[in-house]
Amino acid sequence: MDDLKIAIAGLGTVGGGTVTLLHRHADLLSARVGRRLRLVACAALEKPANLALDAIPFYSDARVMAKDADYDVLVELIGGSSGIALDVVTTALGRGRHVVTANKAMVAHHGQKLAELAEQAGVTFGFEAAVAGGIPVIKALREGLAANRLSQVYGILNGTCNYILTTMRETGREFADVLAEAQALGYAEADPSFDIDGVDTAHKLSILTSLAFGTVVDFAKVHVEGIRHVSAFDIRSAEELGYRIKLLGIARRTEDGIEQRVHPCMVPIRSSIGCVEGVFNAVVAEGDFIGRTLFEGRGAGATPTASAVVADILDIAAGRRTPTFGLPAKALAPLQVAPMEQHRGAFYIRLTVLDRPGVFADIAAALRDEEVSMEAILQRARAPGETVPVVMTVHDTLERSMTRAVERISAIGEVVEPPHLIRIEAF
């Protein structure tokens, strides 16, 4: 069988890892698919000195490589939702070439269009590496669990946030301090906004939603909150209440449509997702025939992500093809999203109040008026006339009722800071 000719656009962390894997495991990969995987072109702004690329044609412009080089598979590892990354992918698909990418932002924003282009050309558009790094969750949802009607898929999809929250719990330090450490260690970018504000997780969740429920990828309909407001006090309080705080992406089928939300959650300490620490990712899928299945592993980095990139290349080399999102692109349904105000669940509330007689009665009245039932309250010490932190949890209630109750509580004169909410998930 002829060699499979591979062109790689982008030679950063993941691109370098992919080149290394293709070289190091060349014999193993060839044995598994019955043909040689041959790197025939690379593109980057500069040729990395640490990669063995002397015999490989090199392009300083990835667009030129995508248009002119002779390849079977283009691997896009540049990043970004549009611009040069989208240009090289559409060029390759337009030439009838297979494409493999680790670019979750591009898939989240343009997945439908790219899937249609791939299917029209009769080629593969693979993106296993776009979600959860080396964890084969795309293949699991699209193929391994295809016989199931899934009720929900959720997980820890950003290792940076999980590292920050884990370290805050283990050290008692505040968010800003731990973020600075994560940046120094290379776990967080110089501009960490996409990670800590939940955007990266939302990109990945929108892809999982499509695979799990057969819907068009619709990033614009994800409810997104980040972890900037989570304090060391919240994490200590969560432990006392039997929870850990995780940034989760959750897609869930409901009577009102599909929930698609990203935000910090309190989860039981002993739950499968509550035990996932550090930079690790985890995805849980629940289906009618398999029940609950957990996938856990490294969600980023050169070697795990390169492993996922090459897994897609191997499928192409072996002639294994499935529809991009599990169904033909034209068969994907519009996403009927459940309104966030219809979400029902329990909540944790952190308040800072002046310790004066009657303040708790006013807070209780605000909850009562919106039909929100208090479950527990924590106040560690009294300081008459001074500000004190107060923690409450409430039983399952509608999001809109909780929102109105918080507005009422905010208007109480003795409440000196805006209340902070964290949703509780009883996984």
Average pLDDT over residues 338-361: 92
Domain at 343-424, CATH class: alpha beta
Give the per-residue pLDDT at 164.
Answer: 97
Confidence of residue 35 (pLDDT cuts 50, 70, 90): very high
User: Does residue 423 contact residue 340 with C-beta atoms inside 8 Å?
Assistant: no
**Among all chains, which residue has been given the structure tokens 């940046």?**
183
Distance between CA 338 and CA 407 in Å, rounded? 23
Residue 33 three-state SS: helix
Packing angle, helices 399-410 and 359-369, rounded to 10: 150
What does the alpha-carbon distance between residue 260 and residue 157 come to, in Å, rounded to a whole number? 14
Average pLDDT over residues 259-283: 96
Residue 1 scores a pLDDT above 90: no
Contacts with 373 (C-beta within 8 Å, 6 or more apart), sequence order: 367, 394, 395, 397
Nearest residue to 418 (alpha-carbon basis) of 408, 427, 426: 408
| pLDDT recorded at residue 356 | 84
303 has pLDDT over 80 = yes
Locate 377 and state its tokens. Answer: 């309250």
Q: Which residue in 80, 420, 406 sits closest to 263, CA to CA?
A: 420
Distance CA 427, CA 416 (A): 33
> What would the pLDDT profile of 115-143 be if each residue is shown by its tens digit?
999 999 999 999 999 999 889 999 999 99
DSSP letters along 397-425, please? EEHHHHHHHHHHHHTSTTB-S--EEEEE-
For the chain, residues classed under CATH 3.30.360.10 are: 137-298
Beta strand 125-126 with 98-101: parallel, antiparallel or unpaired? parallel
Higher model confidence: residue 381 or residue 403? 403
Place of tokens 């060699």: 3
CATH 3.40.50.720 fits 4-134, yes or no: yes
Comparing 15-24, 115-124, 148-157, 380-389, the range with the smallest average pLDDT is 380-389
Domain with CATH 3.30.70.260 in the chain: 343-424
Bridge partners, 252 (sequence order)? 152, 259
Residue 204 known to be catalytic: yes
What number of H helices and E strands is found in the chain? Answer: 14, 16
Catalytic entry in 47, 113, 139, 204: 204
The per-residue pLDDT for range 58-82, each reduced to its tens digit, is 999 999 999 999 999 999 999 999 9
Q: What is the mean pLDDT of residues 223-247?
A: 96
Please give the CATH architecture assigned to the domain spanning 137-298.
2-Layer Sandwich (3.30)
Does residue 412 have a pLDDT over 70? yes
409 contacts 419 by C-beta, under 8 angstroms: yes
Q: Environment class of residue 17 by beta-carbon count within 10 Å: exposed (0-12), middle (13-18) or buried (19+)?
A: buried
Cβ contacts of residue 421 below 8 Å, gap of 6+?
A: 347, 348, 349, 402, 406
Question: Using an 8 Å Cβ cutoff, are 303 and 161 in contact?
Answer: no
- Cβ atoms of 195 and 161 within 8 Å: the answer is yes
The CA distance from 161 to 105, in Å, is 18
- The CA dihedral of 28, 304, 186, 197, to the nearest 10 degrees, is 160
Q: Check residue 381 and give its pLDDT.
A: 67
Predicted confidence band at 185 (pLDDT cuts at 50, 70, 90)?
confident
What was the pLDDT predicted at 241? 93
